[in-house]
Each structure stands twice: as structure tokens, then as C-alpha cells.
Structure 1
Amino acid sequence: MLNRRDFLRMGGLCTASLLAGCRVTPERKTAERPNIVFIMTDDHASHAVGCYGSRINKTPQIDRLAREGMRFENCFCTNSICSPSRAVILTGKYSHLNGMIVNIYAGRPFDGSQQTYPKLLQKAGYETAMIGKWHLGSDPTGFDYWEVLPGQGSYYNPDFIQMDGSRKQYEGYCTDIITDLSIDWLKERRDSAKPFLLITQHKAPHRCWSPAPRHLGKYKHGTIPEPDTLFPDHAKRSAASAESEMSVRDHFRWGHDMKFRGENLFPDHFVSQGAHNEYSRMTPAQRQQWDAHYEPENHAFVEQMQAGKLTDDDVVRWKYQRYMHDYLGSVEAVDEGVGRLLDTLEETGLADNTIVVYTSDQGFYLGDQGWYDKRFMYEESLRMPLLIRWPQQVRRGAVSDAMVLNLDFAATFLDAAGAAVPADIQGESFVPILRGRRPANWRKAMYYHYYEYPAVHQVKRHYGIRTERYKLIHFYYDIDAWELYDLRNDPHEWDNLYDDPKYTRLVKRLKAELAELRARYGDSDELARSFLPPSG
């Protein structure tokens, strides 16, 4: 194992002229262009971020970006799953156009030959680097330097794919290593004569939620507030909710998720599938710390179960506490890493001319609706955290309720850099919003489309529209069901109003708006039928 990274070559920088078909003014001089540091986590729900009002944890370093920049209250993803969201961000195009409709395990890697915003920034004179979780099945393109995790990657002593195709294993915790490599690139590897794009992408807090040793026990079992909807009522929803497989009650794995070792003693409560896959990667010292935390709690739980002292709801509550200890513990190292990156920008004199972005690839269920995971178009999964600091351009402590999408990131980064935004990018630049001037014609509705079914978690295929107040969802493929929610009066989205005669006119209007959005973005029922079911 290596404790620090060896020097790697960097590719040549393309200085080709700007593309035709632009939607912005010509690029500014290189010296005036801002650097961009784009930090993205995997599955970090906005309601587990302090500045978004989290009841369950604090994130003081991430919150620095909110205090010193802008917090977006209504940032949404267009397809709530890891690989598709990353492809949308890179291309500024919906999944049906960029080709990444489902996760990479379905055997459909991202087509790296297509246009992406890092490639366009390269052509506009930027140096580009990608470090951390890539999760697109093909090698990164458009980067002068990259070092990425294979697939989902590992929390403990992770491997990283190098630019020459080899792999290196580092001893330590993945989030810390990604932060270290990012800081090293900022200080030692980049060309100081050029503006830069640094993408730092963390594995955390993705399943199987494995905190660093120093954070084990930080969130004491039994002390984490439960969501109001831990014990859900899906009665008024369509069959799509009931048929999914992502509930805290029924679908956590005995070893993989709950950190038990040995046989599944209680098959009615836990799915039996494999051991915790991080444990085998640990050093003896790491295992000792791990066991010192988990084993006493595990033994106490087994004793209570065998003695018949826990009801079914008690078991759900126990699982929720274990889940949140691990999830929030994984967030802790991310928060620390964000602080270290911000400190590095200050120390190197880069902060004043650097845009810093913090986001996640989608939202996540933290026991909300009785679930974990994402996928559905409901709010906890749809909503993304988005914080942007841009000194001299963004007012400190600003908050925007404008509806922005991961689809917009590419256009925004290009616009901020003074680079050309090709006409085929479907997203819109929200640079004017960052500067405090929301365009009068800014969107008031967004389009969503999820494809990955039949597959893990069994969330039905669906598409829909979300306006400022209402949400209309159509589940299709092996089902034909509609759901309508009034988000103002029903924020938990329990009461499906679709069949209520009082909403007939609203349904008709929303369906027309939905059809208009689908046409605008080039999607249709015929196109959806052309995508075969994913294979595993």
C-alpha cells in the first residue's frame, strides 16, 4: 500500500478555437477567468446538511459555503440515480440523449467520446482534473489529470485507477485520501499559469455507509431524531410504492448494511446476503477499532431479540439508529474534507478567484417514507443540496428559491468561465441568479424521468413534472398509474389527488405542460419504449 501518490504525467492541453453555435458572449481573457472547484458527494441528502436545517447532524465546514455564498433551496435532479446524474452533469443533456439511462452495472458505460463541459473548458484554455468517484464505467475523458475509484470504490484502503490503466492501493480512509489527492494537485501538480477546473467527487455517504475509525460512536445509538414518516402510510399512493424494495423494515442486509458478522439469526427482519465488504480490506488496527464499536451493540441487540424484548417497530427503530450512525458518520469526513479544501484555497491565495460548488448527485431517503436509497420522484430523492461560493460575484449568505437542475451545471460552469455554451446543451446557465438577477423567463417547472426497472430496489419506471406547487407522476412499463400531489398542503406526498374530481382541470393542465416539456427535451413514450429493461 502507498501512503501518498507518486507523480503522474499530465496530458497536453487542447487550445482549439471555440465551438460554433454558441449562446454566450466570447470568452474573457484567461487572467480574468475564475477557477472552479466542484465538490460532489454520493447520496448526501440536503436534510443532512446543517444549513438546510438538518435535525440530525451538523456540517460546519459545508455550511461555510452557505455563509460565504449562495444556498439553493430548489435544486433537483432529472434522474435520481448515480451514473445517470453524473452523465447529466457532465453533458448538460437528459439521460435519453447522453445514453446513460441506468447505472453502469447494467453493462452500459458512459460514452466518453461525446461532448462534456470539461472538454469545452479545456478548449477554452482551462486545465482540468478529476479525482475520486467517477462511476461511469469508462475512463474519464476531457481531463489533463485524473485518478478515480473503480466502480463504487471502497471506504477502507481503497484502490484508485491511474491514467496508465494500473491500480494503486492507498492505506487509509477513502474520503481523506480523495481530499489529500485534491489538495496535492492544487499545491503541486497544476499549471499555475492557467485557470483550472478541479472535480473532487467522494464515495461517501453511499451505501454501505462505513465511517472512518475516528467517527465511530459519534452519533450515539438511540439519540438520533426519527423522521415523522419512519412508519409510513402509502395507502393513497399507487402500487408503485408498495412494490419497491428499499424499506428500513424489510430490506436491510444483515451483514452488508447492519454490520453484523456471522449467520442471519433473524431472517424475518434482515435480508441475508454476504458480509460487510469493507471488513476484509481493513488493517488489524482498523478492525480492532471497528469491532470495539460495533460488537458490543450487536451482542446486546441479539440478546434482546432472543429474549423477546423487542417488537417489530422496536427493530425498525434499532435499524434506523444503526443506519443513521453509519450514514452521518460517513458525512463527517466529507465535512472535514471540505474545510481542508477551503483552507487550502485560502493558504494558496486562490480563494478570491475560485468558484467553489458543493452538491450531491441526488437526494436520499433517511428513513423518510420508511425508506433508504433514492430513485423515486418524491422530494427527498429529487432534491439536491447546492451551495456556491463565488467571491465578488455572489452576495454572502444569499438564498435562492429558483428552480435549478443538475442539467444546468454544465452551462453555468461554461458561462462563468466566459466559454462558449453549445446550442445543443439542454440546461440553462444560472450565472445571472448567482449575481442576484433571476431572468423573468426562468423555469417554473421541471421534467424528471427514471428508467432503471426491473432492477435492484424494484422502483417502477416513471416520469413526471414538478411545478412550484404541484407534482404529477406517471408510472409505466408494467403498470399504468398516475399520482398528483399538492406540495404546499401535503409536503410528505401522502394524499394522491389524481382521481379527485376537484382536480380534473389541474390534471389536464399539468399533462399538457408535461407533454410540452417532453417535446422540448426530445423525450416521448416511443423513445422510452425503445430502451430495453436493464439486465441486473
Structure 2
Amino acid sequence: MKKTIKSVLLTSVIFLAACSPKEKKETVKNTKPNIVLFVADDHGKDALGSYGNPIIQTPNLDRMASEGVRFNNAYCTSASCAASRSVILTGKFGHATGSYGHVHDYHHFSTYDNVKSLPVLLEKAGYETARIGKYHVAPEKVYHFNTVLKADPRSTLEMADACVDVIQSEKPFFLYFCTDDPHRGHPFVSEPWNLPNTFGNKTEPYPGENQIVYDPNDVVVPDFLPDTKESREEIAQYYQSISRIDQGFGRLMTHLKEAGKMNNTIVFYISDNGMAFPGAKTTVYEPGIQLPCIIKDPTKKGNKGGVNNAKISWVDLTPTILDMANVPFDTKEFHGKSFNAIIEQENPKGWDEVYASHTFHEITMYYPMKVAIEGKYKLIWNIAWQLDYPFASDLWASSTWQSVYRNHSKMYGNKTVEEYLKHAEFELFDLEKDAGETNNLADKKEYQEVLKHMKAKLKKFQLETRDPWLIMWDHDNTLQGTGVDL
């Protein structure tokens, strides 16, 4: 009898141990993928081998593209660092969260404190959340990460090495890896004026860096930039900074492989906005908002090394990552939608429109613009069209712009200087026929129905996302509030 009781007790202990909360928790952990969101600073589609640049050396990112999926029509919602990053981490447009421009210094834009961000939602779901490098969002309680890693944000190799402990975590992890490259480097104003900005490059390599220097004569000058000595010298510096990113990205992938995490880690490579040259960053033209997006998801086998032509937006990233992480969420909580289900498709249906805007970069650069893109048509509404188009301080000081300004040149790339500084109230482009956005169709008689349709789409979008600039259509103040806290 005693033996029977002992046997029953032993069996019960073994059964309870097997069903203990700890064991269940481990089982849940193993079902969730790790996620790396790698965000470069001011990197356009113009400077990646996998996107067609034959000069720049980005072998690690190109390898990722050959093993994953490259998106051809990925857009940020605002071509300014802080404003874009707030959208990446919330799934909501900046006008709905108060994130209109830079958070630092006297600008002080900040996200409303009731917003639930991606890292907070993932932490609640059991993820270890860690960030390294550029942050540029506020307040911290909205964008809270469990772990903040320290390293020189210009040295992506050092940054990658600092992430080893997080990568080796027993918990599923979300790593937000944000470089300062290839943002322009300090000082923004050079002496003499025609020296190229360094883009963070130094005379000596960063620790472990294989410094790759480019000949200005070899670089590819995009159509929207002037093909001048100054432009070429700055593009060469920009390329060098990107090659440093690529090396750090490769080191990070090596750490994942050594930790045995490659088969359970989803990796994103994106940028917050386009290259830091006038005509791209801070504009809503294609070089400013259409960006690289490469995704490698080891659970997806289709379209490996292929392209995806869906129009996706950074407002879609938070719901997509939550979907990938098997974290339940209310789709109504986000302006974006998950594109997880269509990653393997080349031409998925129902993904043919995106929206974007820009209000501030620095507080002194007020120039609100709204964008609707559907199929091949793109509408830009320049709300403050009577003003000269303003410059971010670093772009004004760039030798690329100063060479045009000081020489009183009539042309700036594929536009006249006058066209660049003076925008029409409405700009309508056929992106299939006019990729360079030089032929405004808004005043053309034969395109008035298209213009009417695109305006209606933009108004509908503004109403649905409670954009206060909706008032500028007909001065309907219903979204403006009473000015009284209730």
C-alpha cells in the first residue's frame, strides 16, 4: 500500500513538473520569432546594389535581398527623421499622435502619452525589447524599451557587437537597431563652403572597418540632383557611410548565425527617409519618401530573392510586426495594416495606394504638404504654397546646394531653381510616364477628373485619420476642438 501511495505521489510530481507554468512559458517562447528592425538614417533607394546601383558596395544587404524579398514601392509617411520614426513605432500617422517634427532642442515635438507603441506592446507579449543607436522619439514612457544598449552610432560594427547578449537571450527578442549613418555629419557648415560634408566618415577607419572610399567621378548622380563637382563629392561621402552600414549589418547577421538564431529571426532593413540632399529629404517627392525595404523571414519560402510591388508604408510596420510575432491586436487601433500575408506575392491585389505628409522638420521649417498616391497617379497638396519652399539647416549648408545658389544657376537637377523654390498649390503626376515628377498635370484640362478623384481620396483619408489640416479645404472646424479640456 505504501509503495502504491509513493508511486502515485511520484507520478503526480512528475506530471505537475511537466505541466508547470515555467515549462508552458518556455513552449510559448519558442513559438515566437525574434525580430530585428534595422533602420538607417537618410538612406535612399539610390544607393544599394540590390536596387540597381552598380557602383556602391553593399554585399551584405544585397545578400539579404537575394535570400528575402525586396519591396519596390515602400514609402515613409514623412521625410523627416523624428516624424518618420514615430510612425514606424506606432502604426499611426504623425498628425494623429502629435509627432509633427523633431523632438530635440527647441523643437520639442512629442507623441501623446496615451499612444501604445510597438516595443511596449511586444514587451507585454513577453518579448525582450532592446534598442541601440538613434532614438529621436519622445516621451520615453511611450517608446519604452527594456534594454538600452550603448555604442558609437556611426560605428555599426561596434553596435553589432554590443547586441550579442540580447541576441543570446532565452526570450524572444525585438531589436531596434538604428544607425546615425548615412546622415550628414557635424559640422554642417564647412569652411570653405565647397568642401563636401563628411557624412560621419573619418580620416582613419572606425574600429574593425574596412574603409571603402569612392571616386566622385564614378558615383551615380540621380536626375533630381545637379551633376556638379560638389554633388559628386558629397555623394561619394554618402556612399562611404552606407558601406560602413553594410559591414555592421553583416556583423549582426554573423552574431545571429553564431547564436543559432537565423532560422527563427525575421529581419527588416529600412530607412527613415531619403538621402540628405535637397530634393529628397524633407520633400514629398519620390526620392524623399520611396525607400528601401528588404525583409528576410525564414518562415516564408516563396518569392525568395524576388520583388514585391505592393505599395506599403511605414504606418504598416507596427501591425505587420505584431502579426508576425503572433501578438493579437485590434486592427482599428492602427492607421496601417499588416502586409505579412502578402510578402511572398509579387503583385498582390488591394495594395495600390499610400498616403504621406510633411509639416515640420525643424520648427523653423513649416511647410505642410499632403500626399495621396493611387496606382500611377500622385497628388501633392502644398497647403502653404504661397511661401518659398524652406530648407533644413544641413541641406541649405550643403555644398551641393551652395554651388547652385552661389553660382546663380537656373537649374537644380531636373527642375529649375524657381520650380524647386515655388511650388504650385496642387501637383499631379503620372509616375509611370514621369518618374522624375517634372510634368505637373493639375492644370491640364484632360486630367481634371483625375485631379477631382485624387482630391476626394485625400479628403477621405484626412477625415478618417482626424487630420486637423482638413480645415484648410473649406474651413470646417469640426476637428479643431473647443480649446477646453473636458
Q: Does the C-alpha gap of structure 1 residues 409 and 185 become closer, same or farther in structure 2, counting only changes over 3 Å? A: same
Partner of 1:128: 129
Counterparts of residues 82-101 of structure 1 (less than 5 Å): 82-101=81-100
Partner of 2:367: 460
Give the whole-Å Cα distance in 2 for the aligned partners of 1:338 and 1:217. Answer: 15
Give the whole-Å Cα distance in 1 for the aligned partners of 2:220 and 2:361. Answer: 33
Give the whole-Å Cα distance in 2 for the aligned partners of 1:109 and 1:100. Answer: 6
Q: Does the C-alpha gap of structure 1 residues 217 and 335 become closer, same or farther in structure 2, counting only changes over 3 Å? A: closer
Range with bigger deviation, 199-208 or 416-425:
416-425
Counterparts of residues 492-507 of structure 1 (less than 5 Å): 492-507=436-451
Partner of 1:412: 320
Partner of 2:298: 391
8 Å CA contact retained: 1:93, 1:425: yes
1:526 CA displacement: 4.7
8 Å CA contact retained: 1:70, 1:394: no
The answer to whether 1:335 aligns with 2:246 is: yes
Q: Which is greater in Rg?
A: 2
Partner of 2:425: 481
Q: Deviations over 1:344-375 (max 9, x none)?
A: 11111100011011111122266xxxx36512
Give the whole-Å Cα distance in 2 for the aligned partners of 1:56 and 1:98. Answer: 40
Give the whole-Å Cα distance in 1 for the aligned partners of 2:224 and 2:238. Answer: 18
Instruction: Give SS of 1:103's match.
Output: coil
Give the whole-Å Cα distance in 2 for the aligned partners of 1:373 and 1:445. Answer: 20
The residue type equivalent to 1:446 in the other structure is V
Give the whole-Å Cα distance in 2 for the aligned partners of 1:114 and 1:72. Answer: 28
Counterparts of residues 350-361 of structure 1 (less than 5 Å): 350-361=261-272
1:39 CA displacement: 0.6
Give the whole-Å Cα distance in 1 for the aligned partners of 2:94 and 2:437. Answer: 25
Instruction: Give SS of 1:465's match.
Output: strand
Instruction: Give SS of 2:459's match.
Output: helix
Give the whole-Å Cα distance in 2 for the aligned partners of 1:337 and 1:92. Answer: 27
Give the whole-Å Cα distance in 2 for the aligned partners of 1:427 and 1:491. Answer: 26
The residue type equivalent to 1:204 in the other structure is D
Instruction: Give SS of 1:464's match.
Output: strand
1:437 CA displacement: 8.8
Instruction: Give SS of 1:197's match.
Output: strand
1:519 CA displacement: 2.0
Match of 2:201 among 208, 211, 227: 211
The answer to whether 1:118 aligns with 2:119 is: yes
> For this pair of structures, how many residues does the alignment match?
390
Give the whole-Å Cα distance in 1 for the aligned partners of 2:297 and 2:451. Answer: 41
Partner of 1:199: 176
1:400 CA displacement: 0.6
Give the whole-Å Cα distance in 2 for the aligned partners of 1:513 and 1:107. Answer: 32
Give the whole-Å Cα distance in 1 for the aligned partners of 2:83 and 2:362. Answer: 16
Partner of 1:514: 458
Q: Does the C-alpha gap of structure 1 residues 226 and 352 become closer, same or farther in structure 2, counting only changes over 3 Å? A: same
1:81 CA displacement: 0.6
The residue type equivalent to 1:429 in the other structure is S
Q: Does the C-alpha gap of structure 1 residues 411 and 178 become closer, same or farther in structure 2, counting only changes over 3 Å? A: same
Q: Deviations over 1:89-132 (max 9, x none)?
A: 11100101121111124122344653011111111111111111
Q: Deviations over 1:412-469 (max 9, x none)?
A: 11001110123311110011012449764x332211111017856x573210211220
Give the whole-Å Cα distance in 1 for the aligned partners of 2:119 and 2:324. Answer: 13
Instruction: Give SS of 1:51's match.
Output: helix
Aligned residues with identical type, % of pairs: 31
Give the whole-Å Cα distance in 2 for the aligned partners of 1:74 and 1:392. Answer: 23
8 Å CA contact retained: 1:41, 1:201: yes
1:227 CA displacement: 2.7
1:505 CA displacement: 1.3
Unaligned runs of 5+ in 1: 1-14, 16-27, 150-156, 159-172, 232-315, 532-536
The residue type equivalent to 1:109 in the other structure is S
Instruction: Give SS of 2:460's match.
Output: helix
Give the whole-Å Cα distance in 2 for the aligned partners of 1:227 and 1:482. Answer: 24
Give the whole-Å Cα distance in 2 for the aligned partners of 1:410 and 1:417. Answer: 11
Partner of 2:395: none
Partner of 1:421: 329
The answer to whether 1:178 aligns with 2:159 is: yes
Counterparts of residues 64-75 of structure 1 (less than 5 Å): 64-75=63-74
8 Å CA contact retained: 2:285, 2:437: yes
1:332 CA displacement: 1.1
8 Å CA contact retained: 2:81, 2:102: yes
The residue type equivalent to 2:368 in the other structure is R
Higher RCO, 1 vs 2 (CA within 8 Å, ≥6 residues apart):
1
8 Å CA contact retained: 1:394, 1:436: no
Partner of 1:267: none
Give the whole-Å Cα distance in 2 for the aligned partners of 1:185 and 1:48. Answer: 30
Q: Does the C-alpha gap of structure 1 residues 183 and 471 become closer, same or farther in structure 2, counting only changes over 3 Å? A: same
Match of 1:220 among 215, 222, 225: 215
8 Å CA contact retained: 1:469, 1:486: yes
1:524 CA displacement: 4.4
Give the whole-Å Cα distance in 2 for the aligned partners of 1:454 and 1:345. Answer: 38
Instruction: Give SS of 1:104's match.
Output: coil
Give the whole-Å Cα distance in 2 for the aligned partners of 1:135 and 1:39. Answer: 15
8 Å CA contact retained: 1:117, 1:410: yes
Q: Does the C-alpha gap of structure 1 residues 221 and 46 become closer, same or farther in structure 2, counting only changes over 3 Å? A: closer
Q: Deviations over 1:175-234 (max 9, x none)?
A: 3332221234324xx3x1x21111111110011202253366710232323333433xxx
Give the whole-Å Cα distance in 1 for the aligned partners of 2:373 and 2:324. Answer: 27
Q: Does the C-alpha gap of structure 1 residues 503 and 454 become closer, same or farther in structure 2, counting only changes over 3 Å? A: farther
Give the whole-Å Cα distance in 2 for the aligned partners of 1:216 and 1:436. Answer: 37
Q: Does the C-alpha gap of structure 1 residues 37 and 93 become closer, same or farther in structure 2, counting only changes over 3 Å? A: same
Give the whole-Å Cα distance in 1 for the aligned partners of 2:144 and 2:291. Answer: 25
8 Å CA contact retained: 2:358, 2:370: yes
The answer to whether 1:377 aligns with 2:284 is: yes
Instruction: Give SS of 1:362's match.
Output: coil
Instruction: Give SS of 1:473's match.
Output: strand
The residue type equivalent to 1:210 in the other structure is G
Unaligned runs of 5+ in 2: 1-20, 22-26, 186-198, 387-423, 482-486
Match of 2:359 among 430, 451, 454: 451
8 Å CA contact retained: 1:85, 1:361: yes
Q: Deviations over 1:219-266 (max 9, x none)?
A: 0232323333433xxxxxxxxxxxxxxxxxxxxxxxxxxxxxxxxxxx
Give the whole-Å Cα distance in 1 for the aligned partners of 2:234 and 2:431. Answer: 28
Q: Does the C-alpha gap of structure 1 residues 475 and 201 become closer, same or farther in structure 2, counting only changes over 3 Å? A: same
Give the whole-Å Cα distance in 1 for the aligned partners of 2:377 and 2:247. Answer: 37
